[in-house]
Amino acid sequence: MSNLEQLDAMIAELAALEATSDDDRLALVTELAQLQKVATAAQARLAAALAASQRARLVRAGFRIGVRPASGGGP
Protein backbone atom coordinates (compact mmCIF):
# COMPACT_ATOMS: atom_id res chain seq x y z
CA MET A 1 0.00 0.00 0.00
CA SER A 2 1.40 3.42 -0.95
CA ASN A 3 1.88 6.29 1.49
CA LEU A 4 -1.10 8.09 -0.02
CA GLU A 5 -3.31 5.02 0.27
CA GLN A 6 -2.26 4.58 3.90
CA LEU A 7 -2.98 8.23 4.64
CA ASP A 8 -6.37 8.05 2.92
CA ALA A 9 -7.24 4.98 5.01
CA MET A 10 -6.15 6.75 8.20
CA ILE A 11 -8.25 9.80 7.34
CA ALA A 12 -11.30 7.60 6.78
CA GLU A 13 -10.75 5.88 10.13
CA LEU A 14 -10.30 9.19 11.93
CA ALA A 15 -13.48 10.58 10.38
CA ALA A 16 -15.41 7.63 11.82
CA LEU A 17 -13.93 7.75 15.33
CA GLU A 18 -16.41 7.39 18.17
CA ALA A 19 -16.03 6.72 21.86
CA THR A 20 -18.42 5.28 24.40
CA SER A 21 -17.07 6.83 27.60
CA ASP A 22 -15.53 10.07 28.76
CA ASP A 23 -12.30 8.22 29.56
CA ASP A 24 -12.13 7.01 25.97
CA ARG A 25 -12.97 10.49 24.66
CA LEU A 26 -10.24 12.05 26.77
CA ALA A 27 -7.72 9.47 25.58
CA LEU A 28 -8.70 10.08 21.94
CA VAL A 29 -8.51 13.87 22.31
CA THR A 30 -5.03 13.51 23.81
CA GLU A 31 -3.86 11.16 21.06
CA LEU A 32 -5.34 13.38 18.34
CA ALA A 33 -3.45 16.37 19.75
CA GLN A 34 -0.23 14.34 19.44
CA LEU A 35 -1.22 13.29 15.92
CA GLN A 36 -1.76 16.92 15.00
CA LYS A 37 1.77 17.80 16.16
CA VAL A 38 3.29 14.90 14.25
CA ALA A 39 1.29 15.75 11.11
CA THR A 40 2.39 19.39 11.27
CA ALA A 41 6.04 18.35 11.61
CA ALA A 42 5.72 15.90 8.71
CA GLN A 43 4.09 18.59 6.56
CA ALA A 44 6.91 21.05 7.31
CA ARG A 45 9.59 18.43 6.60
CA LEU A 46 7.99 17.41 3.29
CA ALA A 47 7.44 21.04 2.22
CA ALA A 48 11.11 21.84 2.91
CA ALA A 49 12.23 18.78 0.96
CA LEU A 50 9.96 19.77 -1.94
CA ALA A 51 11.35 23.32 -1.97
CA ALA A 52 14.94 22.01 -1.96
CA SER A 53 14.14 19.56 -4.75
CA GLN A 54 12.53 22.25 -6.88
CA ARG A 55 15.49 24.62 -6.34
CA ALA A 56 17.90 21.84 -7.38
CA ARG A 57 15.78 21.15 -10.46
CA LEU A 58 15.91 24.82 -11.45
CA VAL A 59 19.68 24.94 -10.94
CA ARG A 60 20.12 21.85 -13.13
CA ALA A 61 18.00 23.60 -15.78
CA GLY A 62 20.41 26.56 -15.75
CA PHE A 63 18.56 29.06 -13.57
CA ARG A 64 20.62 31.08 -11.11
CA ILE A 65 18.86 30.83 -7.77
CA GLY A 66 19.17 33.69 -5.29
CA VAL A 67 20.91 36.05 -7.72
CA ARG A 68 19.11 39.30 -8.39
CA PRO A 69 19.79 41.29 -11.54
CA ALA A 70 21.58 44.60 -11.05
CA SER A 71 19.26 47.58 -10.94
CA GLY A 72 19.59 49.99 -13.83
CA GLY A 73 18.90 53.21 -11.97
CA GLY A 74 21.47 53.30 -9.18
CA PRO A 75 23.07 56.48 -7.79
Residue 46 is predicted with a pLDDT of 98
SS3 call for 22: helix
* pLDDT of the residue at 65: 84
Secondary structure letter of residue 67 according to DSSP: -
Per-residue model confidence (pLDDT) at position 66: 79
Cα–Cα distance for residue pair 72/64, rounded to 1 Å: 19
Domain ranges of the chain: 21-61
Q: Give the model's pLDDT for residue 41.
A: 98
For the residues 19-45, what does the mean pLDDT come to?
A: 97
Across the chain, mean pLDDT equals: 92
